[in-house]
Structure 1
Amino acid sequence: MEKAFRNLIKSRFPFLPGKKLLLAVSGGVDSVVLAYLCRNAKLGFSIAHCNFNLRGEESDADEDFVIDLADELEAEVFTQNFDTETFAEEAGISIQMAARELRYNWFEELSQTLNFDYVLLAHHANDDLETFLINLVRGTGLEGLSGINAEKDTILRPLLDFSRKEIEAYARQNNIKWREDSSNASTKYLRNKIRHKIVPVLEELNPQLLQSFKQTQSYLKESEALVEDYMSLIYPKAIQKSQYGYELDINFLKKIPNTRAVLYQLLKTFGFTEWNDVYNLLDAQPGKMVFSEEYRLVKDREKLLLTEINYPEDKIYHIAEGEELVMLPVGKLAFAEVDKIEKKEDFSRIFVDADKLQFPLIIRKWQTGDFFYPFGMKGRKKISDFFKDKKMSLPEKENTWLLCSAEDIVWVVNHRADERFKVTSATGKILKISCSF
């Protein structure tokens, strides 16, 4: 195995020699063997150990074991204790997810603080198979079946080509000691249930299960690469960045083959799960929506509008008389007295009769029932009807602000001024108001 490991470093990770490496070592056979292999391959590394405090004295004994191992290997060691159960409860996630998040965040912190080039993890071929089966049980796309990445950013997994049996055999042949995690024997968790109950049955059916799995996985990765190449051609034609998120071209999506699969590939990173509802939006009435936890997909006339879900409290901002520049979370407003109106048409600025304004001015979001007197028109108009006439999308409506004097709307910002505040021959002081949102 040592020779195979050295050959693997030369062929797949030739950049590792001379780099500053951080090895995640739990005390289990996989990570302990990885530490010995790296030492024997003359790679420079430090060790990081997470104590999740989930098994009482056993967890503390694991930590002591790793400290002694680092001393034996003459490696620097870092240890970190976590209150995993409290973190999981406060975050509303499982213990396994909490432990994962805590350790990866700590590895990243160590890497950035101490300038480690790469973090090495001891996942092996059996872990890869178990992850495949977990994703298969839960339901997943092609990427969920193509396996654990051997290299992702600065995270490397150099043992993925080796089985658990090979790793344990190497440890025994070289009299390497390790710690057994008692929780690994429990079938309480899905991964353990698959490891102890499902995989043995599959190995009975096919003694060469891992080899067959690796072959299948290589085909899946090739298919995934093919899909990625296809999507790189589709993406710029199907989806465009907009002011408030993204716009998907419905007509284009309907013309291409496998529309449902393309929609999945375009939107899979945004957390949607109800894919039939997403697909049905293409023929739904305008205004129909589908939600994920953080995003919303809205059917507009010829577009699907993808925006983040924001639920801020309705804010009202007050602008005192005499202020020249007002910085707001919504943008910047500038006020300046001028001698005359600039005739150039520009919706980002208005000119008003300053004496008609009642300070402090108010800037707020529009509300149902709001109305104003559009500049250049007779009579009043509901803001909602104004939006409808302009064929504004739902995100555009939600992100439109009103500048008000007391109860009266002075400006539908960036769209239309109010007739009541216009400059006339009787105006004594002209105020120019401009915005950049």
Structure 2
Amino acid sequence: MLDELGYRCEAAHCNFHLRGDESDRDETFVRELCAAHCIPLHVTHFDTEGEAARRKVSIEMAARDLRYAWFEQLRQERGMDWVAVAHHRDDSVETFLLNLVRGAGINGLKGIQPCHGYVVRPLLGVSRHDILDYLNYLQQPYVTDSTNLQDAFLRNKIRLQVLPLLAELNPAAAAHIAETAGRLAEAAAVYNDALEAARRRVMPDPFHIELVALQREAVPETLLFECLHPLGFRSAQVHEVWRSMVTPTGQSGRRFVSAQWELLRDRTALLLRPVTEGKAADGCALQLGDGARPNPGVRPSSGAWAGPDPEIPFPVVSGAPVEVLLPEGKLTLQLVERTADFVIPRDKQVACLDADRLPLPLTVRRWQAGDKFVPFGMKGRKNVSDYLTDRKFSLFAKERQRVVCAGPEIAWLVGERSDNRFRLTGQTRHVLLIRYEAKEDCMK
């Protein structure tokens, strides 16, 4: 049709190798059809099952991502304006009902949109029945994906069982659902403007939802859904998050997890972080020079801060700063001689330690249950867990907290407090300066 209307068209076919001989049959059919109409054809082959296993996603999701990435690559390489796909009205109706069954807000009930980026759907206003009638009129053969006739998947059950039943109740049911989805799409544009304004009121940044601000909104649970659903949280999960906020038994510390995000119900806010952040590498061992303590008046020997984690290198030239790369930021370490004009930085992100009293090796790791240190200015030991609780750290912030250890002892609670045993004294000759820089500001 597009060719007859005068558009310059090229066809693209993906063989996902999911249906054995039938996949090859489809490819052969497309090749013959394009050859008969003199349409340039591009064909690619995917190991879809392997891609799904590698990414730990469904085969359907893997196939979708593979084809649309290839379509866009092909569009750019061939200098084309659009990627036209064959979704029709019944596909949009199925999507509407699928999202309705799963639980969705207004944005999930818009059906399939006619245009998304460079992807257009010129058949979206036409039913499957009308398309088949047109093919019969042209006497054009076609092939059918046999898996579309199996009700093993929810979408297929809607297509094969629900839509025929609705048609018995009202022959125009599919058309009416499509019209409703269209009106909801228009209403969603107004809704989304108001939603964005409300989102800014309750989310000072993408990782926090302030509880008091949320509860001041007219429809707080709906707003909560719209904040969390795009992050992969299901409607049932959002309801449980809401219950944890409003029920007398709701307690801080409860966690909820989607495929990509983790949510923590904290005292005054809902905290969000990517799932990968919670699984970040714990830490690494560092060694100063060749392991020998620097002698008074002698520069440290040549060597490196060496660590077992190959993803975090620690190159150093003797006497130069060393950068220790961490998933959430970096530490910069420098050994300096203490002179008369040396000034101790008044910055929590900088530790000044007596290098001559530090047991080696130095290590950087997450704090662990049972860790103790002597906070600067104090004499007695204190549990790190108690210190963090006193500082009102959230569970996420506690889990992120790192320590720099000197031998078996904690020398610095990174970004917080150094250990009093390694403070500078009148006898200090060499100072180890450690500076922490975060990748981004993460509120506790």
Of the candidates 288, 313, 316, which is equivalent to residue 284 of structure 2? Answer: 316
1:307 aligned onto 2:273: yes
Aligned to 1:280: 243
Aligned to 2:8: 44
Amino acid at match of 2:284: I
Aligned to 1:258: 219
Q: Do the aligned partners of residues 350 and 156 (structure 1) sit closer, same or farther apart at CA in structure 2, a change above 3 Å counting?
A: same
Q: Do the aligned partners of residues 87 and 121 (structure 1) sit closer, same or farther apart at CA in structure 2, a change above 3 Å counting?
A: same
1:95-174 matches, cutoff 5 A = 95-174=59-138
C-alpha contact (below 8 Å) 2:344/2:352 kept by paired residues: no
Query: What displacement does 1:320 show?
Result: 1.8
Aligned to 2:332: 333
Query: What displacement does 1:387 show?
Result: 0.9
Indicate the larger mover: 98-107 or 223-232: 98-107
Residues 214-254 of structure 1: per-residue CA shift (max 9 Å, x gap):
3211232233223211111111110122xxx6111111111
CA distance in 1 between counterparts of 2:82 and 2:268 reads 46
Aligned to 1:5: none
Query: What displacement does 1:335 show?
Result: 0.7
Of the candidates 35, 49, 53, which is equivalent to residue 71 of structure 1? Answer: 35
CA distance in 2 between counterparts of 1:304 and 1:189 reads 35
Amino acid at match of 1:292: S
Aligned to 2:179: 215
Query: What displacement does 1:188 show?
Result: 4.0
SS of alignment partner, residue 194 of structure 1: helix
CA distance in 2 between counterparts of 1:91 and 1:418 reads 43
Query: What displacement does 1:397 show?
Result: 1.5
Unaligned stretches of 5+ residues in structure 2: 290-299, 301-315, 439-444
Q: Relative contact order (C-alpha < 8 Å, sep 6+): which is higher?
A: 1
Q: Do the aligned partners of residues 277 and 190 (structure 1) sit closer, same or farther apart at CA in structure 2, a change above 3 Å counting?
A: closer
C-alpha contact (below 8 Å) 2:87/2:124 kept by paired residues: yes
Of the candidates 23, 29, 44, which is equivalent to residue 80 of structure 1? Answer: 44
SS of alignment partner, residue 253 of structure 2: coil
Query: What displacement does 1:346 show?
Result: 0.7
C-alpha contact (below 8 Å) 2:372/2:381 kept by paired residues: yes
Query: What displacement does 1:116 show?
Result: 4.1
Q: TM-score, normalised by structure 1?
A: 0.83
Query: What displacement does 1:83 show?
Result: 4.2
Query: What displacement does 1:159 show?
Result: 0.8
CA distance in 1 between counterparts of 2:183 and 2:238 reads 25
SS of alignment partner, residue 70 of structure 1: helix
Indicate the larger mover: 255-264 or 129-138: 129-138
Query: What displacement does 1:367 show?
Result: 0.8
CA distance in 2 between counterparts of 1:373 and 1:95 reads 54
CA distance in 2 between counterparts of 1:198 and 1:39 reads 35
CA distance in 1 between counterparts of 2:21 and 2:334 reads 68
CA distance in 1 between counterparts of 2:44 and 2:263 reads 42
SS of alignment partner, residue 435 of structure 2: strand
Indicate the larger mover: 106-115 or 130-139: 106-115
CA distance in 1 between counterparts of 2:256 and 2:217 reads 22
Query: What displacement does 1:199 show?
Result: 2.0
Query: What displacement does 1:139 show?
Result: 3.1
Aligned to 1:290: 256
1:372 aligned onto 2:378: no
1:180 aligned onto 2:144: yes
CA distance in 2 between counterparts of 1:431 and 1:196 reads 71
Cα RMSD of the aligned pairs, angstroms, is 2.4
C-alpha contact (below 8 Å) 1:319/1:326 kept by paired residues: no
CA distance in 1 between counterparts of 2:382 and 2:80 reads 63
Q: TM-score, normalised by structure 2?
A: 0.82
Q: Do the aligned partners of residues 423 and 185 (structure 1) sit closer, same or farther apart at CA in structure 2, a change above 3 Å counting?
A: closer
SS of alignment partner, residue 28 of structure 2: helix
Indicate the larger mover: 360-369 or 70-79: 70-79
Amino acid at match of 2:332: L
Amino acid at match of 2:270: L
Q: Do the aligned partners of residues 429 and 192 (structure 1) sit closer, same or farther apart at CA in structure 2, a change above 3 Å counting?
A: closer
Amino acid at match of 1:296: E
CA distance in 1 between counterparts of 2:364 and 2:149 reads 62
Aligned to 2:387: 386
Q: Do the aligned partners of residues 156 and 426 (structure 1) sit closer, same or farther apart at CA in structure 2, a change above 3 Å counting?
A: same
Residues 176-215 of structure 1: per-residue CA shift (max 9 Å, x gap):
3322334444444443433333323322322222332232
Aligned to 1:351: 352
Q: Do the aligned partners of residues 378 and 132 (structure 1) sit closer, same or farther apart at CA in structure 2, a change above 3 Å counting?
A: same
Query: What displacement does 1:92 show?
Result: 5.8
Aligned to 1:21: none
Aligned to 1:29: none
Residues 314-368 of structure 1: per-residue CA shift (max 9 Å, x gap):
3332132345313322413231404244245111212222211223211111111
Amino acid at match of 2:384: I
SS of alignment partner, residue 38 of structure 1: coil
CA distance in 1 between counterparts of 2:191 and 2:350 reads 47
SS of alignment partner, residue 3 of structure 2: helix
CA distance in 2 between counterparts of 1:308 and 1:155 reads 29
Query: What displacement does 1:47 show?
Result: 0.8
Query: What displacement does 1:39 show?
Result: 0.2
Aligned to 1:430: 431
Sequence identity (%): 35
Amino acid at match of 1:136: L
